[in-house]
Amino acid sequence: MSKNAATIGAWNQRYEDSYEISFRFCCGIDSIHVFRAERFVAGDRTAPLGNVQLAIYRSFTSAYNDGSETPLNVANITEPFAPADDDRKGCLKMFPATHISVVHRFSADSFNGLKVHLVDPRLHEKRDPSDAIRKGEPVDDAVKAGFASAIFTFSEIVFNPEHNRAAFTYSFVCGGLCGNGGTVIYKLTNGKWSQEKDTCARWVS
């Protein structure tokens, strides 16, 4: 599923025969639960986005954009957690596989105090540096504009059974060959969540 397809309408259009969509609303954040009909079990639902998930998103966003003068364009809706197979077999072995895809929509104040601009991934327009360079724009200017218009997308957060590890994926995309991303793990120590040292794959293009 493409990032621009991660919307209610797109899912309803593409998977209308195999998904059931229900809605919950909690703490000012819309929660959209999507279930595979053939595997749906009553009561098998993930809790709405809570303070822990939001705190982890905020922590990573703050560290990722630290030192940047440009606001980070964060997609206002998450994507289902879909890590690379190598990560599933490696750094994510402690996390159970799930058949439920869950996404949440961030509220306007989710990233208050951070250099974040929430954007609708269906409408947001990126400026691919490659296109600008081909049109004669200076490389530095093209790259700067590309980074400024890039879109940053979070996946859902999943927890291990002990609920002391959390994992998610992210992507920063500024063009066809411009971006980075990967899988991140957070750990709970003495009541505080912090990012573990890189144990999962990262990609750069």
Q: Of 29-33, 140-144, 168-172, which has the strongest mean pLDDT?
A: 168-172
User: Is 94 within a domain?
Assistant: yes
User: Is 186 within a domain?
Assistant: yes
162, 133 contact by CB (below 8 A)? no
User: Is 194 within a domain?
Assistant: yes
User: Is 43 within a domain?
Assistant: no
- Can you list the alpha helix ranges (DSSP code H) found in the chain? 8-14, 51-64, 85-89, 129-134, 139-149
User: Is 184 within a domain?
Assistant: yes
pLDDT number for residue 155: 95
The number of distinct structural domains making up the chain is: 1
User: Is 44 within a domain?
Assistant: no
What digits encode the pLDDT tens for the residues 154-195? 999 999 999 999 999 999 999 888 899 999 999 999 999 999
List the domain range (segments joined by +) for residue 139.
49-98+111-204
Backbone φ/ψ region at 67: left (φ over 0), alpha (ψ -120 to 50), beta: left
User: Is 9 within a domain?
Assistant: no
CA 110/CA 113 separation, integer angstroms: 9
User: Is 103 within a domain?
Assistant: no
The average pLDDT across 92-97 equals 89
